[in-house]
Structure 1
Amino acid sequence: MASTADPVETPAHAPEAGLRADAERNRDRIVAAARRLFATEGLGVSMASVAREAGVGKATLSRRFTTRDDLVNAVFADRMDAYAGAVQTALNDPDPWHGFTGYLHDVCAMQAADRGFADVLTMTFPAAKALEARRTEAYNGFLELITRAKGTGHLRDDFTSQDLVILLMANAGVINATGDAAPDTWRRLVVHMTRSYATPTAPVPLLPDVPAPAALYRAMIRLTRARSDNP
């Protein structure tokens, strides 16, 4: 007589499910490890260092992420979402000039919070399609923000979207140079640059306090040592 009991999963299915779970855990460990290393050391970290930090072999890392661009895309997808979201927030501001200056500060703050992201914003990753799509979306929104800010009469007519790229490069340099020695130095740079973009009648943000001489000296020593270690 045929049995009417519910069918049960055969043991043959268990190894396959276990392999899938292991693969997912390894992927999560790799992404978490890369996020930690990129945030503190920038994108110059080797793939071998990421594998060691994650506690996996290089072959395992290569299976999960064929290229560095794949890994960068996985690590920074949420940050690029926030980057694109910052443009939309600025566009929603009823005062376009305030939205513009707020956007500059917010994006530079994102860089300061994560050295890896500071690098991402000044580099391109052609193979990371999703990341580059969000960058393009943010760029198009910024073009609209520029137009609106100029319409207020507060943004100089000669400001272009390339000036944002220059600002991000300069900010990334300051962040990487000062590190923990003078971590708020970027704020003064951003306000100085914002003031340079403003017309004479525009309201401008107040300059933050200048970093203490001792803090800047520590930053200079830190930068000198970094260059000595990487000739």
Structure 2
Amino acid sequence: MIRRDAQRNREALVAAARQVLAERGVDAPLEAVARRAGVAIGTLYRHFPERGDLVDALLDEKTRAWADLARESLGADDPWRGLAEFLERTCELQAADRAFTELACLSHQDDGAEINELIHRLVERAQGAGALRADVGPLDLVFFMMANSRVAEAAPGHWRRHFTLMLDALKAV
């Protein structure tokens, strides 16, 4: 059983990491996480012996939320609207969370990732409805998200314009 103070510290570290990594990305200094949590760096390392342990805890959380978003989008009555909402909400997350951006841009490299299968299903569904260009594949959507993340980073607040232009390019004629 974990002591209450240890549990509080762990929760504070995860909450602080969520904020710091969203602001600065997965390579953010762990000292900044400990400082934001109000604990010593040694406390961070007692709970998360390696950087990867802390990052994995957050990325697992973000991956589950992203997969939930994709499943919700698959349930939309209109396949195009479902795909568009998935992309828009993903781009919103990227604009607000650098750690999520890094996750979204790297997820396509894991062939077994659930999100890849869900994106594939979103593409097939929208193409089956004649709404998405036939030559667009799941990897194109990953590139779409990668490009939009760079726009959000370079020109915060202007990513929606880029998103709208890119989304129009995906529509079937």
Structure 2 length-normalised TM: 0.86
Tell me which protein shows more helix as a share of its residues: 2
Q: 1:88 is matched with which residue? A: 71
Of structures 1 and 2, the one scoring higher in RCO (CA 8 A, sep 6+) is 2
Q: Among the aligned pairs, what percent are the same residue?
A: 37
Q: 1:215 is matched with which residue? A: none
Q: 2:142 is matched with which residue? A: 165
Q: 2:133 is matched with which residue? A: 156
Which of 122, 145, 150 aligns to 1:145? It is: 122
When the two chains are superposed, the root-mean-square deviation of aligned CA atoms in Å is: 2.4
Letter in 1 for 2:40: G
Task: Mark the runs of 5 or more structure 2 residues left unpaired by the alignment.
Answer: none
Aligned 1:35-114 pairs, distance under 5 A: 35-114=18-97
* Contact 1:115–1:175 (CA under 8 A) maintained in structure 2: no
Name the CA distance, whole Å, in 1 between partners of 2:138 and 2:124.
10
1:101-130 CA-partner distances (Å, limit 9, x unpaired): 121111111212323222221235x9xxxx
Aligned length: 172
Larger Rg: 1 or 2?
A: 1
Q: 2:164 is matched with which residue? A: 191
Note the C-alpha offset of 1:146.
Answer: 0.9
Letter in 2 for 1:193: M
Note the C-alpha offset of 1:76.
Answer: 4.1
Which of 103, 106, 110 aligns to 1:120? It is: 103
1:68-105 CA-partner distances (Å, limit 9, x unpaired): 23212323444322211111112111221221112111
Name the CA distance, whole Å, in 2 between partners of 1:168 and 1:67.
29
Q: Secondary structure at the match of 2:133?
A: coil
Q: Secondary structure at the match of 2:105?
A: coil
- The reply on whether 1:20 has 2:9 as its aligned counterpart is no
Moved more, 25-34 or 77-86: 77-86
Letter in 1 for 2:142: V
Name the CA distance, whole Å, in 2 between partners of 1:176 and 1:68.
24
Q: Secondary structure at the match of 2:43?
A: helix
Note the C-alpha offset of 1:147.
Answer: 0.9
Name the CA distance, whole Å, in 2 between partners of 1:71 and 1:164.
28
Note the C-alpha offset of 1:48.
Answer: 2.2
Q: Secondary structure at the match of 1:97?
A: helix
